[in-house]
Amino acid sequence: MNRHPAITELLKRFPLDDSDKVESGDSTIDVASFFPSPPKSGVFFVGSLSHPPCSEGVLWVLINEVLELPEDQVDELAGLVGTGVRSNQSAGQRAFLLLNPAQDR
């Protein structure tokens, strides 16, 4: 399986520690390439970061389709990002928007 080009570009820009500055230069990352086109289903909701400072007001977009990556690229990304430190939170009064576009007829 080939490495995902947008993930490769993202990994090249990832800071190695908190003191590193990331310069974007003239290059861009095509965020749309992370998602299927068009996505078949998913959910949107406002939550918080899973890493400190755990700021709220983050728009989460969860798409049901899987983005396939080679294992070495998953390992590299997981090694940089790690696992979330915030425990699962109650949905409370949080609103969820389900994405379920009409199927072609």
Locate the domains of the chain by residue range: 5-99
Tell me the pLDDT band of 23, cut-offs 50, 70 and 90: low
The fold adopted by the segment(s) 5-99 is Carbonic Anhydrase II (3.10.200)
Determine the angle formed by the axes of helices 71-81 and 5-13, rounding to 10 degrees.
30
11 contact partners, CB below 8 Å, separation of at least 6: 73, 76, 77, 80
Contact 49, 8 (CB under 8 A): no
63 contact partners, CB below 8 Å, separation of at least 6: 35, 36, 39, 41, 42, 99
Give the pLDDT confidence of 35-63 residue by residue, as tens digits.
777 778 899 999 888 888 888 899 998 88
Q: Which structure tokens are listed for 103?
A: 């199927």
pTM as predicted = 0.64
**Residue 78: is its pLDDT beyond 70?**
yes
